[in-house]
Amino acid sequence: MIRSALEQRPGGLVARVTIDNPAKLNILSPSTLQELKKEIQKAGANSALRAIVLSGAGEKAFVGGAQLETLGSLDPKSAREFITLIHEACAAMRECPVPVVARINGWCLGAGLEIAACCDLRLAAAHAVFGMPEVRLGIPSVVEAAMLPRLVGAGRARWLVMTGETIDAERALAWGLIEEVFSPGTFEKDFNQRIDALLSGDAEALRAQKRLCRLWEEAPLAESVRASIDEFAASYGKGEPNRRIAAFRAARAKR
């Protein structure tokens, strides 16, 4: 089950999307994956939206992985269909026009880590645990596990997917898998402060920046540079940089 709610923050509108099955560590069934994809796409279609926060319900897990009952019943045809659902849910995060922030409040395993890897930012509680255990179940880590070398480097990505062992939040931070770690007692407060910092930027500039970040991950350098020039020039179309820079200079002059 997926829950979604809109929240008006000081910097603008945020969608809170929650994978809601805490009794089973918010595991991903076929129907949950389909729901998640649709909810992210629906939220992203809102032109007033500034960001999406993706979380798992409860205090134990972000996503504990894919549903074992499903994994244990697949054949080659249905396996292809199921892994395609995981890919489509991951792709929805990357294709969403606004930043998607993973609020990682516990276990983040397998397909859950692939989902998190496709978010733009990953902020975690200190008790979060990360891993890719698929090889221990007789299957390789696939689809958006391909994001892991971009985040942590080839060697560390291979360690995660080849050993199936888990790492704690402190090591995940050191490896670059996540951006920040917060203590459980202040997690919500600290997390919201970071969301507000994200929303302090101009809305259109932030959407342009997301487009560029995705392109930088996928395109050759020359294409990325050309697109960056186009986005920079287009940002002046409505005069927002001029207004913001003038306001900054005026405030600096007063100081």
Q: Are 181 and 150 in contact (CB under 8 A)?
A: no
What angle (nearest 5°) sits at the alpha carbon of residue 90, between those of residues 25 and 95?
A: 140
The CA-based angle 35-14-112, given to 5 degrees, is 40
Helix axes 221-234, 203-218, angle to 10 degrees: 170
Give per-residue burial for 41-58: e unless 16+ CB within 10 Å, then b. eebbeeeebbbbbbbbbb
Catalytic residue selected from 134, 188, 204, 223: 134
Token couple for 37 = 């994809």
Is 134 assigned a catalytic role?
yes
Active-site residue identified among 35, 39, 114, 144: 114
How are beta strands 166-168 and 12-19 bridged, if at all?
unpaired
Q: Is 81 a catalytic residue?
A: no
Residue 6 amino acid letter? L
Which one, of 86, 90, 112, 93, lies nearest residue 31 by Cα? 86
What residues act catalytically?
A: 114, 134
